């Protein structure tokens, strides 16, 4: 009897998959371009738990394997960061659970609730990549976040100009 692989052909299309964290990271490049590097950001890993080697948990509940905060800041504004949102998802990538900054959530809840549902914890639940991108588009393109970015740019620009004007002695 011949030996053969019983594995599903999972390598097909791997390069086409964009995980939720990567989509956020891509948006940071656009933010830096739009603000002429006055504002930048990062996607911070949030440690969920310490898995030990050979520790296996099999349950019927939705697992959360990855958790990240999406944060913006300016190198010109000391001691200030703004956490836009937090995402959480399992190894399946979708659904993605999005916890929005409460200031933004208050203003955007009606708009975002029309795109996807909220769970009992108050997180928006994006079922697939298209829903996730549409939700992010509405958050990142919102007037409310735009005002925060505009104010950060004003403060950063003032500080940058002051630094550029300082005398060398």
Query: What does the pLDDT read at residue 140?
Result: 97
b/e sequence 98-127, b meaning 16+ C-beta within 10 Å = bbbbeebbeebeeebeeebeeeeeebbbbe
What pLDDT does 160 receive? 84
Question: Which range marks the domain in which residue 131 is found?
Answer: 18-46+63-157
Least confident among 12-16, 28-32, 70-74: 12-16
Q: Is residue 71 part of a domain?
A: yes
Residue 145: which residues within 8 A CB-CB, separation 6 or more? 84, 104, 139
Tell me, yes or no, whether 162 lies in a domain.
no
- Tell me if 53 is assigned to some domain: no
* Strand partners of residue 42: 71
What's the pLDDT at 44?
96
- Asked if the structure places residue 58 within a domain, the reply is no
**Does residue 69 surpass a pLDDT of 70?**
yes
Q: Is residue 134 part of a domain?
A: yes
Buried b (16+ CB within 10 A) or exposed e, 1-32: eeeeeeeeeeeeeeeeeeebbebbbebbeebe
* Residue 17: per-residue pLDDT: 80
User: What are 114-124's pLDDT values in tens digits?
Assistant: 999 999 999 99
Share of the chain above pLDDT 90, in %: 69
**Would you state the pLDDT for residue 2?**
83
- Domains identified in the chain, total number: 1
Give domain status of residue 169, yes or no.
no
Residue 54 in any domain: the answer is no
Whether residue 3 lies inside any domain: the answer is: no
Least confident of 46-60, 73-87, 148-162: 46-60
């Amino acid at each position: 009897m011949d030996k053969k692989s019983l594995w599903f052909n999972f390598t097909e299309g791997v390069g086409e998959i964009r995980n939720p964290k990567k989509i956020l990271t891509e948006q940071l490049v656009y933010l830096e371009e739009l603000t002429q590097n006055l504002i930048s950001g990062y996607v911070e890993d949030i440690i969920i738990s310490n898995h030990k080697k050979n520790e296996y948990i099999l349950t019927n509940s939705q697992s959360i394997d990855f958790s990240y905060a999406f944060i913006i800041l300016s190198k010109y504004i000391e001691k200030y960061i703004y956490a836009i949102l937090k995402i959480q998802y399992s190894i399946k990538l979708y659904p993605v659970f999005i916890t929005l900054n409460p200031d933004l959530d208050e203003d955007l809840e009606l708009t975002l609730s029309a795109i996807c549902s909220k769970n009992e914890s108050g997180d928006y639940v994006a079922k697939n990549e298209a829903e996730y991108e549409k939700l992010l588009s509405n958050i990142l393109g919102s007037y409310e976040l735009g005002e925060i970015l505009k104010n950060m740019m004003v403060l950063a620009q003032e500080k940058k100009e002051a630094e550029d004007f300082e005398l060398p002695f």
